[in-house]
Amino acid sequence: MRIKDLVEKMQFTATATWEKDKEGSFLTTDYSKSIFFSCPPDLGGIETPSPEDLFLSAIATCTLTTLLHICDSLRTAPNTLKVSVSGDLQLIKSSYYEFENIICQLEVTGDEFLLERACEKVPKQCVVSNSIKPLITYQMIINSQHRLTLTNN
């Protein structure tokens, strides 16, 4: 899957609707089925992703697809690839929360030299991580060995 033409501007749309007490749904431009979400279960929500889960999943999926595109440009592909993201939602002042300590861990196997080159580029090229305020620490594990720790700054 080669990226043949880069476009200067792309537009995405997401529409969220609050359905009832603690649950809602959203639609995106690229996915025509409703996706349900709610506040976290410990705050009375149901067993669906919370907005906080979706925030971290946006970082994970963007990181994964960014790495795959970089690998594609280097004419390599990982044998396995897993991205895990965690973060702390911290109360800063009265009813103001902010994410801290976001850690994005990439576990990848394959050509060590090319994968390390690809992983080095991810923090600078991931659109989502570069569009948000919190610092993200990337831990790159290549062929079961911790190889790099980078940030999106």
- What class does CATH assign to 50-151? alpha beta
Tell me the domain boundaries of the chain: 8-49, 50-151
DSSP conformation letters of 9-77: -----EEEEEEETTEEEEEETTEEEEEEEES-GGGT--SS--HHHHHHHHHHHHHHHHHHHHHHHTT--
- The token pair at 23 is 């649950």
Each residue's pLDDT expressed in tens, for the chain with a length of 153 residues: 344 556 678 788 888 888 777 788 888 888 888 888 888 877 777 788 888 999 999 999 999 999 999 999 999 999 999 999 999 999 888 888 899 999 999 999 999 999 999 999 999 999 999 999 889 999 999 999 999 999 988
> Residue 117 is inside which H or E element, if any?
helix 112-125
pLDDT of 6 reads 60
pTM metric for this prediction: 0.85
pLDDT of 5 reads 56
d(CA 39, CA 34): 17
Q: Facing residues of 78 across strands? A: none
